[in-house]
Amino acid sequence: MERRFDGTVALVTGAATGMGQATAARLAAEGATVAVNHLPGQDPGDTLARISDVDGQGFAFPADMRDPDQVTAMVRGVAERAGRLDYVVSNAGINPDLTWDNTSIEDFNKLFETNVRGTWVVVTEGAKQMIREGHGGAICCVSSISAHVGAPYQTAYCGTKGAISMLAKALACNLGEHGIRVNAVEPGWTITPMSAPILDNPPVLKYYEERIPLHRGAQPEELAAAITFLLSGDASYVNAATLLVDGGFIVNAEL
């Protein structure tokens, strides 16, 4: 495997499981020192073990994305511990099944505070850290196919993902002069703990497998490959882009 990230430091939020875990392991395998963000009280051991398995370097750093002070302290703490910060992957998010008319104000606030404000704080604080250090970098926000299509049990969630995709584009316009690129990936169905209920619902599983031209969900490692591409020098002229990684689902979806 190439080592495109030797000597660099990356922060991956929501890295205890799923896409965040796969991305942390991929970055470590390619030479980055990876800060593995996880919720306070959550065990990041599986991710750290995967990093060790690829002879990588990483360390855990707890912070709740709903708490701006914790997120700000995390960014500074990662840079202090590792000596610098080159990359941020804003992956942490929640996706509860909620119809529009069963979404309380508390539900709505929790979704937007976690998914949107959490992204805003970690990305902007990460960019400020890179600027203080006097070098460029790259940021990848994890959005979703739900930035483009509606779903009956994801109404408010869709709003958060539309916001994340647009924030990535808007921030890219501001940060390019500092040598910092900002892009977003928009996954479709990816087989992670968050999407596990799909596998337990035969009619829903059948719908996804029939509608996705590749007839399967993505593995987290496939999203990690897309994310690390966007961070890498191979994507040095890719900026303000949103990369849909959905197996072609969007052209055949009837949500």
Please determine, for residue 143, whether its predicted confidence score (pLDDT) is greater than 90.
yes
Q: Which of 8-12, 62-66, 107-111, 194-198 has the lowest mean pLDDT?
A: 194-198
Beta partners for residue 114, in sequence order: none
Inter-residue contact 224 to 177 (CB < 8 Å): no
* C-alpha dist (Å) from residue 211 to 103, 174, 187, 206: 28, 38, 15, 8
Please determine, for residue 149, whether its predicted confidence score (pLDDT) is greater than 80.
yes
The whole-number average pLDDT for the span 35-59 is 98
The pTM for the full model equals 0.96
Q: Which domains does the chain have, with CATH numbers?
A: 9-252 (3.40.50.720)
The whole-number average pLDDT for the span 217-241 is 98
The whole-number average pLDDT for the span 229-237 is 98
Per residue in 124-136, pLDDT tens?
999 999 999 999 9
Q: Which of 54-68, 69-83, 180-194 has the lowest mean pLDDT?
A: 180-194
Helix, strand, or coil here: 136? coil
Inter-residue contact 253 to 210 (CB < 8 Å): no
Please determine, for residue 222, whether its predicted confidence score (pLDDT) is greater than 60.
yes
pLDDT at 9: 98
Mean pLDDT of the chain: 95
Query: CA angle, 40 as apex, 78 and 27 as ends, to 5°?
Result: 45
pLDDT above 70 covers a percentage of the chain that reads 99
pLDDT at 172: 98
pLDDT at 244: 97
Inter-residue contact 111 to 94 (CB < 8 Å): yes
Which one of the listed residues 90, 143, 157, 165 is annotated catalytic? 157
Which one of the listed residues 87, 143, 146, 161 is annotated catalytic? 161
Please determine, for residue 151, whether its predicted confidence score (pLDDT) is greater than 90.
no
Element (H, E) at 181: strand 180-187
- CA atoms of 223 and 217, how far apart (whole Å): 11
- CA atoms of 110 and 186, how far apart (whole Å): 21
pLDDT at 253: 67
- CA atoms of 184 and 169, how far apart (whole Å): 8
Confidence of residue 153 (pLDDT cuts 50, 70, 90): confident
pLDDT above 90 covers a percentage of the chain that reads 87
Which one of the listed residues 144, 146, 165, 208 is annotated catalytic? 144
Residue 12 phi, psi dihedral angles, 5° rounding: -120, 120
The whole-number average pLDDT for the span 200-206 is 84
pLDDT at 165: 98
Query: In terms of Cα–Cα distance, which of 62, 64, 178 is closest to 124?
Result: 178
- CA atoms of 190 and 216, how far apart (whole Å): 9
The whole-number average pLDDT for the span 4-31 is 98
pLDDT at 152: 84
Task: Tokens for 13, please give them.
Answer: 């939020």
pLDDT at 254: 60
- CA atoms of 85 and 88, how far apart (whole Å): 8
237 annotated active-site:
no
Please determine, for residue 232, whether its predicted confidence score (pLDDT) is greater than 60.
yes
208 annotated active-site:
no
Beta partners for residue 57, in sequence order: 33
144 annotated active-site:
yes
Could you report how far apart the first and last alpha carbons of the chain are, in Å?
38
- CA atoms of 93 and 161, how far apart (whole Å): 10
Please determine, for residue 255, whether its predicted confidence score (pLDDT) is greater than 60.
no
pLDDT at 1: 79
pLDDT at 189: 92
